[in-house]
Amino acid sequence: LINEKYRELYEIVEANRGLAHLSDGHLAMAEWEIAAGMLGDIKGFSGGQTAGFTARTYQKNVLSIQLGDMWERAYYGYGSFTDGKYKSPLREAQVMNLVKKIKPDKFGMYPYIDEILGVDWVMDFSEYEIDRNIIDELNDEIRAGKLLDPRDPRATEQTRREFKARANFFSQRRSEVLALDIPYLPDFDAQLEDDMINLYAKIRSITPPQGYPNAPTYYIPEYLEELYREGKFDIKLDPRIPAMYRESFPEELRAKILAYAKKHNIKE
């Protein structure tokens, strides 16, 4: 308990985390763990899998590292396509070498770890489904040699467009399947299904399409160029733009930050 003022909130979260919501699925369990992390328990960010929200999963693991949960392999440069990441042995080796040298600050944290190691672009299909069926199907075709990960150095415009076309096909098929009037099994739990859909919808509503600063969503370059030509590309949504420079950031707070930086000669 860090702040006595929020004891009631702490107790609610503590009573609902862990295996308390095992019957409600991994997504519900992960969200309670994230709540615990936000209240000061670092382990909350490193626990639980947020289903098909791959960017959200990556982001919470980065937060865990920034707050002091560093380990040799860290979470950077490590993972697989089913995690939404591109597995690069070179990147992984570079990261493992760096994390051995990086020292925590006086609070035992690594607040600038993302600036030191950079970010990885995450593939996320949570816009279309709650699980990972689409990314699993794409992974199967990549492993079979039918597709090439668009983030692969060997990728070309043609292979990237082929990947996007296949991803669109799987996404559309998933949408059509969900729209079918398929009879439920006898043991179907309507209330559980309703709770899961509501939770998914709530998370999806606050998930930025561009991802997070530490976990930007990957889009093939050709798709972004098409959006730009059609006048639909909003450069302000670039997740790499610092929060204080976004239009939605409070002007008064931005002015205070800039004044403090000027007074103490802090450069960007």
Segment 16-72, tens digit of pLDDT: 998 888 888 888 998 999 999 888 888 888 766 677 889 888 888 888 888 887 664
Q: Are 48 and 63 in contact (CB under 8 A)?
A: no
Lowest mean pLDDT among 77-81, 146-150, 260-264: 77-81
Q: pLDDT band at residue 145, thresholds of 50, 70 and 90?
A: very high
Tokens 């709540």 correspond to 35
Question: Average pLDDT, stretch 142-153?
Answer: 95
- pLDDT, residue 81, reads 86
Flag whether pLDDT at 237 surpasses 70.
Answer: no
pTM strictly above 0.85: no
Of 127, 123, 207, the closest CA to residue 171 belongs to 127
- pLDDT, residue 236, reads 63
Q: pLDDT band at residue 75, thresholds of 50, 70 and 90?
A: low
- pLDDT, residue 193, reads 79
- Count of residues making up the chain: 268
pLDDT mean across residues, the chain: 83
Please enumerate in sequence order all residues whose Cβ is within 8 A of that of 214, keeping only pairs 6 or more positions apart, or say none. Answer: 58, 59, 62, 63, 114, 119
Q: pLDDT band at residue 149, thresholds of 50, 70 and 90?
A: very high
Amino acid at 108: G
Question: Average pLDDT, stretch 140-146?
Answer: 96
Question: Average pLDDT, stretch 250-260?
Answer: 84
Q: Are 203 and 31 in contact (CB under 8 A)?
A: yes
Q: Are 4 and 26 in contact (CB under 8 A)?
A: no
77, with CB counted inside 10 A (0-12, 13-18, 19+), is buried
Question: Three-state SS across the chain?
Answer: CCCHHHHHHHHHHHHHCCCCCHHHCHHHHHHHHHHHHHCCCHHHHHCCCCCCCHHHHHHHHHHHHHCCCCCCCCCCCCCCHHHCCCCCHHHHHHHHHHHCCCCCCCCCCCCCHHHHHCCCCECCCCCCCCCCHHHHHHHHHHHCCCCCCCCCCCCCHHHHHHHHHHHHHHHHHHHHHHHCCCCCCCCCCHHHHHHHHHHHHHHHHCCCCCEECCEEECCCHHHHHHHHHCCCCCHHHCCCCCHHHCCCCCHHHHHHHHHHHHHCCCCC
